[in-house]
Amino acid sequence: MISSIFVCHGGPTLIVEKHKYTDFLKDLRKKLAPKAVVIFTAHWESEIACLL
């Protein structure tokens, strides 16, 4: 089995913020050096409108 980790993206401003969580993510990136990244999202765009 391949090791996996869940990392929450936080929010849209996370990329420009500086705090303990962003420091942790930067250190994690250096330690893991992943061979692949899988992204799951609940955000999508659709041309079909849902009318309820």
The tens digit of pLDDT for each residue in 5-32 reads 887 766 778 878 899 988 988 888 888 8
pLDDT at residue 52 in the model? 57
Contact 7, 25 (CB under 8 A): yes
pLDDT at residue 2 in the model? 72
Q: How confident is the model at residue 51 (pLDDT cuts 50, 70, 90)?
A: low
Nearest Cα to Cα of residue 31 among 3, 52, 10, 51:
3
DSSP H helix total and E strand total for the chain: 1, 0
- What is the model's pTM? 0.51
The residues, ordered by sequence, that sit 6+ positions from 1 with a Cβ below 8 Å of its Cβ are none
- DSSP label at residue 16: G
Domain range for 37 is 1-52
Residue 49 has pLDDT above 70, yes or no: no
Number of folded domains in the chain?
Answer: 1
